[in-house]
Amino acid sequence: MDYENKLVLAPMVRVGTLPLRLLAAQYGADITYGEEIIDHKFVKCERRVNEHIGSTDFVEKGAESVVFRTCNQERNQVVFQLGTSNAVRALTAAQIVCKDVAAIDINMGCPRSFSISGGMGAALLTKPELIHDILTTLRRNLVTPVTCKIRLLKSSQDTVELARRIEKTGVSALAVHGRRVADRPRDPAKWSEIADIVAALSIPVIANGDVFEYDDFQHIKDATGASSVMVARGALWNASIFSPEGKVPWDDVKREYIRKSILWDNDIKSTKHTLKEMIMHYSSLELPEGKAVIKSECLADLAQLYGEDKYYQIVNAKRFLVN
């Protein structure tokens, strides 16, 4: 993995599944992070080749639910993000998937109560010894590159000190969300504090925070000196933010997302959640489109809603012939 001058899709819960990752890559994303997967769940998974749709699935044994789905098309750019609070369990989980992804990332920035209560995500920021244990364990036992994503600590000096400790573990890159745990999305990202981290490290730093237009990629690079730039909400609202030619019309992006969800048989709950997030930014769930998405019970319903029912029929007909 090369982390210099890259445009990166951030990890997003319930959103960063295969269709959105491939959509972002189609529009110009160089690296795409999957949604955070908790190690407790992933160690119960087994790898299966899904010949029905041409994917590689990691399925929870017993429940038979797909926890993570990828494909050869994204093999060299997809990053598997892991939620963990234990080095041995993290390694067990990483070894299951490491040959099918470009890198393994440890989530150290999620402020959600679920992650923090389990000692994961942002809870790790106050446990430098555990951070060191997890990252060094992965680095010593995996050939796959290892990275992590953090948030800012109470002071810039504290964050720089933690970043230096992380660098010493041998990680390939460090992603930094320019907000503190207590900050809300409406609070401005602190690009100057990301710049302090960049100045202190020799490994690539991926800057994250307040990127909503293509020009913002260069703005944050200029302000921080970061090697690469990561975007979350801006890409969720319109994945064509990665295109240097300008954003594609919103309706076209939604239809392309639906097509990819159909092609890769994406979970209907995840597909609906992503669409609702797209709609809420530009419109309202109280309007006919939003209400129709909420009422949809399967991908066929969404295909009909967005005028992709013929595509749905073609894809399923091909699967029938192949299988």
Which residues participate in catalysis according to the annotation? 110
d(Cα 299, Cα 266) in Å, to the nearest integer? 8
| 15 among annotated binding-site residues | no
149 is known to lie in a ligand binding site: yes
Query: Order of strands across the sheet with 45-50?
Result: 45-50, 55-60, 65-70
Strands 65-70 and 55-60: antiparallel
Nearest to 232 by CA among 170, 185, 294: 185
As a residue count, the chain comes to 323
Does 81 carry a binding-site annotation? yes
Is 233 labeled as ligand-binding? yes
Residue 59 one-letter amino acid = V
Residue-by-residue DSSP string for 124-158: GGG-HHHHHHHHHHHHHH-SS-EEEEEEE-SSHHH
Tell me the three state secondary structure of residue 203: coil
Say if residue 232 carries a ligand binding annotation: yes
11 is in an annotated binding site: yes
| 12 annotated ligand-binding residue | yes
Q: Which residues pair with 47 in a beta bridge?
A: 58
Strand 7-9 to 31-33 pairing: parallel
3-state secondary structure of 7: strand
CA dist list (Å): 120 to 1, 37, 85, 138, 169: 25, 11, 5, 16, 19
What are the strands, taking DSSP E only, across the chain?
A: 7-9, 31-33, 37-38, 45-50, 55-60, 65-70, 78-83, 103-108, 146-152, 173-180, 205-208, 228-231
173 labeled part of a ligand binding site: no
The rounded distance, in Å, linking the Cα atoms of 26 and 255 is 14
User: Which residues are annotated as part of the binding site for FMN?
Assistant: 11-13, 81, 149, 177, 232-233
